[in-house]
Amino acid sequence: MKAWRHYLLVVVFFGACAGMAVRVVYLNVRDSDFLQGQGNARSIRTEPMPAFRGVIYDRHGEPLAVSTPVMSIWTDPSFVTLDVSAVEQLATILKLDPITLQMELRSDARREFYYLKRRATWQEYEDVRALGLDGVYFQREYRRYYPAGDTTAHVVGLTGVDDQGLEGVELTFNDQLRGQYGRKVVLKDRRGQIIKDLEYLEAPRFGKDLELSIDLRLQFIAHRELQAAIAARQASSGSIVMADARTGEILAMVNEPSYNPNDFSRSLGHGVRNQAITDTYEPGSTIKPFTVLAALASGRWEAGSMIPTAPGYYRVGSLLVQDPLNRGTISLNTALQKSSQVAIAKVALDLDPRAVYDVLTRIGIGEYMGVGLPGEAAGTLNDRGLNNPVVRTTLAYGYGLAISPLHLTQGYLAFASGGLRMPLTILKQPGPPRAERVIEESLAREVVEMMESVTAREGTAPGARVPGYRVSGKTGTSRKVGAQGYDETRHVALFAGLAPASDPRFVMVVVINEPKGEEVGGGAVSGPVFGQVAGRALRLLGVRPDAERAI
């Protein structure tokens, strides 16, 4: 090679190097901000930091709802196209249909975000990550877990895939529980994996914990006994509400059918409805103690006052009031014990037209309670037609009004508390409740003593008794309204009571909707459920027996 060619190549080489060096210096000095921005746009992202949702506890600190970390898997169809092999591998791991997944990815090719699976299990996340697929990304989230499952489902409720409350306490107190997401700046690789946290912009604020009034032990007992009763009676549904007689705190609230809030794969259906607060019924004879209370308060009646009921029926206008048999002349106490329609009708017609209605409104029956659960029904109770003897008569034995099991619990709470009206609540209270006297204490105690005869051997609910304890309560059996009026084949069986009668610890209402079989009355159907639950609850709470024959 001639010398000039050699020098020419050297000059060209070093000239090119110098040009490149000048260009690099130029870009770093002149276009540094632009290039840095372009690089950051491809690798630096602002990511949300999920907030831990508050824990829901029962009154003894047992967790009823907790949040666990999960991973969601997603892709960007507008940026990357997954081949058939990748789609099949993903579908196998995530338990999806590969054909459907392939079609959805193709139809959504312009979308920048597509969830392959929300809240994947940790094993699914590990298996997908091991595939090393470009364009498949992961997002950390939290999933709600409910340790008690269907036992507390209607009270605690559930959250959706976005961790927002949908039912129960989760919905009512969603703002308090959910917290607030944080933000951070991260460096990602080409697969979308976070390599490094660069900067924390805002720390997440975790949700506040919530302590309910529910006693999980009593909740389990009530739910188990209700399930057994519904199955044995082939009933369509049922509810139990138990409240602390001293504070108004709801200790147990169960419904059947229920649902499992941990299982999103099944349709939740009608089991989601909290029937203890949403469904209203005509309460039937469970209203009679309030009629008796109105009679005692009038000063014209006493527990021993005699009432002629012969010949076992009594006509009030167009209404024929009947007892199952002719009881002759009985006392007011016996009328309550035997649940005599004729006797209660005569008592009601002897009172001021508004007497029974005023008692019911004073204790809060039919009003909106505001216990802290969504879907609460206000009930139906009004004073229209009280000048009509038929209206007053039917109201006296529990027809012509519609209330929920929650309302009935509120009513009997007034008896158990010695005449006080206190708010029912689903939250554990830090101190004594706000109480208002609505009944004279002596009258409330007298009605409680009279109701004790209902659970005696001669009463309508001997099955509600608890060995060693005095139990007061009242049965109720109401017919349901059908297309042609009251249906003789469809009933609601109720029992409302309190225990122990000497110093009430709790109030409980049991409702069995549409029981099948020969026995459909509240005493035969709901009374034994009350007895089973109350017996276990009294022993669990350490309440001393108060019956004379108790050892």
**Which residues carry out catalysis?**
285
Q: For residue 352, is it left (φ>0), alpha (ψ between -120 and 50) or beta?
A: beta
214 vs 276: CA distance, rounded Å: 15
Q: Supply φ then ψ for residue 311, to 5 degrees.
A: -90, 25
518 vs 520: CA distance, rounded Å: 6
510 vs 378: CA distance, rounded Å: 19
Q: Length of the chain in residues, anyone?
A: 551
Burial of 312 (0-12, 13-18, 19+ CB in 10 A): middle
Query: Of 260, 211, 272, 252, which is closest to residue 54 (Cα–Cα)?
Result: 211
Q: Are 200 and 193 in contact (CB under 8 A)?
A: no
215 vs 54: CA distance, rounded Å: 19
Q: How many CA atoms lie within 13 A of 276 on its CB side?
A: 29
Burial of 386 (0-12, 13-18, 19+ CB in 10 A): middle
Furthest-apart CA atoms within the chain: distance in Å: 142
Structure tokens at 396: 């006296």
522 vs 144: CA distance, rounded Å: 39
Handedness of CA 281, 286, 290, 295 (dihedral sign): positive
